[in-house]
Amino acid sequence: MIKRALLGLLLALMWVPLVIAQTSSENQEQVYLNKLTYRRNKLQIITKKRMAEEKREYTTTDIDLGTYSIEAYTYTTGQIETQRYSRFEPKEWTEWYIMKGGIRVLSDLEFLQIVGDQKEYYRVLALENQKAKARFYGNLAIGLGLATMLGGAAFSASQNVIVGGGIVTVLGFFVSAFNLSPPHYLEPDYAQEKIDEYNVNLKKKLNLPLDFE
Mean pLDDT of successive 10-residue stretches along the chain, which has 213 residues: 58 56 67 90 90 66 57 56 67 87 93 94 95 92 87 79 84 89 93 95 92 84
Question: pLDDT at position 146, please?
Answer: 86
Q: How many angstroms separate the CA atoms of 124 and 100, rounded?
A: 20
Question: pLDDT at position 76, please?
Answer: 53
Neighbours of 175 (CB within 10 A): 18
pTM over 0.85: no
> 109: closest CA among 32, 19, 186, 178?
186
Q: What is the dihedral of CA 192, 128, 121, 213, to 10 degrees?
A: -30
Question: pLDDT at position 109, please?
Answer: 95
Q: Can you say how many angstroms the Cα of residue 139 is from the centroid of all Cα atoms in its chain?
A: 23
